[in-house]
Chains A and B, each alone.
Chain A
Amino acid sequence: MNNQVKNRIKDKLFSIWGWISVSIGIVALAVFIIDILFDGLPVLSFRFLTSLPSRIPEKAGIFTAMMGTVWIFILTAVIAFPLGVASGVYLEEYGIKNRLSKLLEINIANLAGVPSIIYGLLGLEIFVRIFRLGNSILAGSLTLALLILPIIIVSTREAIKAVPQSLRDASYALGATKWQTIWYQVLPASFGGILTGVILALSRAIGEAAPLIVVGALAYVPFAPTSPMDNFSVLPIQIFNWISRPQKGFIQNAAAAIIVLLIITFLLNGIAMYMRNRWQRKMKI
């Protein structure tokens, strides 16, 4: 009896502890967003989205940074998606399972946790200097692609692992080759999970400033980029630059830019969730 009471108290205590933990997170986020909205909303306008950067806060806009972010997003996706998914498929389906592959698996998981600035240094040396790509969008995208490859590889492998053996058996038993089984059965069945991983990785990539600063993204770019070899800026760098200025006007601009970045990330995640749910519904009935 006494024991039962004790257990019930523990149960209650844990649920209170959990509630407090969740609240701390939500309150912090809410305070942050409200603060940002107060500072940024008055500045946010069509003019702000379409103006070039300027020394005068009232004239400054995020057009170049936003276009830079779009360029970086698309190029990074185009580079990282095929490489990451192919690596994940290879490691899971073709790679021999032994101690070496185990070691590789641990290392890939570790790479996902390496600070992004380290990737920036790697990108600076390899893409900017050795490949002579300069401070270009391409160099930045390649660097970010490296940064998110581990996340894509790991989530691809997890998604593939979740495909039931019975599906593969059915395909093999009809005379399908390994590649046909992967292409027609395993990949479609795991695509929802793979997509989730890719989008999460990409929304991390567009929030990065540090590696791009190292690679040589500029805070002031007078024109929107028109090719992968152009100089560029991205939203996080623009925000970082504005926040470090003394004028109140730039702080407000930074807040407005944060709102734009949040909306972009939110939209991307929304699209990802929509696509995943649609795909999974299609695969399930």
Chain B
Amino acid sequence: MSTTDLPLPTVRPAHAPPGVGNLRGTRSFPAEARESLQDTQLRRNLGKATGVIRAKRAAVVDEVPDWEELRLAGSAIKTDVMARLPELLEQLEASVTARGGVVHWARDAAEANVIVLDLVRATGADEVVKVKSMATQETGLNEALEAGGVAAWETDLAELIVQLGEDRPSHILVPAIHRNRSEIREIFLREMPGVDPDLTDEPRRLAMAARAHLRRKFLSAQVAVSGANFAVADSGTLSVVESEGNGRMCLTLPRTLITLMGVEKVVPTWADLEVFLQLLPRSSTGERMNPYTSTWTGVTPGDGPQEFHLVLLDNGRSGVLADVDGRAALNCIRCSACLNVCPVYERAGGHAYGSVYPGPIGAVLSPLLTGITGEDDPNASLPYASSLCGACFDACPVRIDIPNLLVQQRAASVESHHRPTGQDVAMRAARVAMTSPGRFRAAEKGLGLGRALGGRSGRITALPWPASRWTSSRDVPVPPAETARDWFARTRPGRER
């Protein structure tokens, strides 16, 4: 092992390279949303599910008197982590290594996938069981494993629904949130070998079907792949927070465990978990505590996997770290609370974001990780997929100022333009008008033309593009005969200042 700490002079923080993984869709958010908004089943499913989880979260957050203090601590711990990230990772590496684990480093998604595939092949296994993991979704690990001849079995119920349905995940916590019980029943009946043909859509029966389907896999699997919710630098402890017990199965029964985690998941000390193990469950599933949290440190002889590999993934995180404002997005603990309260997410759904990270945090994290390549980059549209209503900030357990990050990423989107867009031209013209009272008044006079459009009705119902995007669903008030400033000057002469 090399111990040199000399920074390579040519090394710069990097974005996630394109072409591998699932951080970017193929179309802009408005184009995707236009279609998903018409999916009445999706609208119903999402409306119901997010409504349920919002109420549950509110109830268990309201009963915690020191919730704000926990949020402040969580935010500060994460801010501290980002300021010491390289050192904490080296400490984590040393702790894990001392306890018999092997630490690997991956610059990007492709490298992470190769590392995992090679590790699986080295065991001789041709299949792995998987715990739900955003990092492996981000890198497209399942596809890479399949291409390498290794079958990946998703064991989280929602991931299983997505995998069996050859679907894409649409939510961080519940990737199949866009499916309702009857759709899930149909998928199981169609895709699950040996399933009871009399399966009903009762959630308990559906969960039982998943249990029966995966039981033998768990008992025979030789290799498991997981993500991690937290990694403790000083003790080398990894943690997975889950509900169903599929995580425990994967973390306990196979001989080999491979954990892929983004570098930002490290926390300094064991005691720091006392904050996050309170913030995360209440924010994500709206429970006081999730059914199962597993922690493990390296390898324990006679108990659990006897071979443990930890893969630390950059894939754009160093680039996010270099962004003074943007690095706060790395504080995210993937609870999904911001998705569940977002009126845009609730209506457009997770697929409209293209990336595996949807919702408000995804709308900033995805472009931060990939960088924005220009006005035609689908990720350039993500920061605009918000009305800036601010509900996400209030819900965020680590106080990420998502509205501010959305504005900052909008700026990054604007700065990526290779040629001036119509919006650029309009904004420049508006700036010119708004920095001179004379020009501003002239522009206001121009608005007076609108009075002719309104006629006697007092409203305008149709305007040419791009204002037609407003009038397609909303009337426009006819501009008044007299502006406020003219009224004031007329009625209170000499008192303007």
Partners in one complex: no
Q: Which residues of B contact A (CB under 8 A)?
A: none
Q: Which residues of A contact B (CB under 8 A)?
A: none
